[in-house]
Amino acid sequence: MSTGPRNTWDLWARSVPSLARESTLAPCPDPAATATRLAQARLADQYIVYEAAGGVRHFAAGSAVSLTAHADTVTARAAGRTWSSRTDGRPTTVFAAALSALSAAHGASAGGRHFYGWAAFELAHLLHADPGTAGDGPLLHALIPSVEVTLTGAETVVRAVDEAWLRKVEDLLAERTPRQPPAQGTSPERAEHLIAAGTAAYGRAVARTVEDIRAGLLEKAVVSRKVPLPAGAAVDFPATYLAGRRSNAPARSYLLDLGGYRAAGFSPETVLEVEESGRVSTQPLAGTRAYGPDPAENDRRRAELLRDPKEIHEHAVSVRLAWEEMAAVCRPGSVVAEEFMAVRPRGSVQHLASRVTGRLGEGAGPWDAFASLFPAITATGVSKRDALHALARHEAGPRGLYGGAVFRGSTAGALDAALVLRTVIGEGEETWLRAGAGVTAQSSPDREIEETCEKLRSVAPHLRFTAERRRRE
């Protein structure tokens, strides 16, 4: 059904059940394994594991209540009913209005009601470039869960819509870890074979992008390449997530089957972090060198990174634009660089890293900040509009989830959005990896190819497959 926008979201919000039941249990000795086990239980059609700051993990599941935005329409579902409203080209504004109605119906105290979701990269074209290239697929999707589990070092908290959901999760948590059939691993040779796929075509795309930059069309573009996985090998996403998380040190991690996408990822940075108090921050990472088991070699590469003119320029222009995007939604004078050009290890690579913070301005909310900062400048380029046009010319097909965001937020005003990089992604029958590198006037195709290989090694060696198991069954 479709009614006036305000009435639409009020009707939807009143149909969303509250998380009326809560239970506090002892902490789990291995939160990553516990969250993965909850995902493997397939409690509902949709689920997500989201690792937030400090290693706190959230598991959420459900299927009945969701919000989905396309370029022209936002659709809400609850209690077996559907509501929709036109976006007039402003999907994040309408999305925020629906969540505001949810806040009014359920209250914003004590952290509010949480939602989990993703934003596809193509939303960027609607926000910053050519709306006609945003496509007709979903651009934003959020789940308002029927059950939510928070795993910290101090306790395990379960919230659910009713007693049946609560007991179901409590029983799972009380079980001894079940013996799962071992997933088929990835040999080093197979991982390297995957990583090397398509490098020649990528090198040509980098060369064309350098020509565009030297012609003055843009300053920087983050050009990526897609690495399709073999059609006969079904990825075990939970097993991949657990194996990869053991070997990565991400800013955020996530495992999901949500809104048509499956993913397991180890995000090196956040697109933005908004606190209920109105503090907002973003964490641009740009400039890369490999990171491995040899401390001396890591130190050598770190020193090389800190004196490389191309990498420093790439990082500085990213921070400059992030600052400008923050200033557009923050109080005058509140934007500062709390950290500039530190070096952070992220799995198989190390990056130059900065953090820019501010305070939301009067009348601005978390989704205004999201619309300004999305997608991360480190996944697009400078200027963002010109970079998006360049990516449309030099990359084959839409990115989908890659370069977009996976997020957790609350109706009390918090929003935490991880940049989708270092991720294996599935949609329909297709599964793939993707990696990119920042291309500037000083770039060489060989070095940018090498950088994508370094980044892919954060995921490819940890892929786990279910094909052998399915054949046995």
DSSP line for 94-123:
HHHHHHHHHHHHH-SGGG--EEEEEE-TTH
* Mean of pLDDT values over 92-96: 94
| 297 catalytically annotated | no
Which residues, at least 6 apart from 466, have a Cβ–Cβ distance to it below 8 Å? 183, 184, 234, 235, 236
Q: Return d(Cα 32, Cα 153) in angstroms, integer.
A: 11
Q: Reply yes or no on whether the pLDDT at 437 is more than 90.
A: yes
Per-residue pLDDT tens digits for 62-89:
989 999 999 999 999 998 999 999 998 8
Per-residue pLDDT tens digits for 155-196:
999 999 999 999 999 999 998 765 566 677 888 888 999 999
- 270 contacts 280 by C-beta, under 8 angstroms: no
What single-letter amino acid sits at 106?
A: H
For 4: left if phi > 0, alpha if psi spans -120 to 50, otherwise beta; the answer is: beta
User: Burial, 153: exposed, middle or buried (Cβ in 10 Å; 0-12, 13-18, 19+)?
Assistant: exposed
| Sign of the Cα pseudo-torsion (211, 217, 221, 223, in order) | negative
Report angle CA 410, 96, 385 to the nearest 5 degrees: 115
- 420 contacts 406 by C-beta, under 8 angstroms: yes
* Mean of pLDDT values over 275-284: 95
SS3 153: coil
Is this model's pTM higher than 0.85 or not? yes
Catalytic annotation, pick one of 148, 219, 269, 448? 269
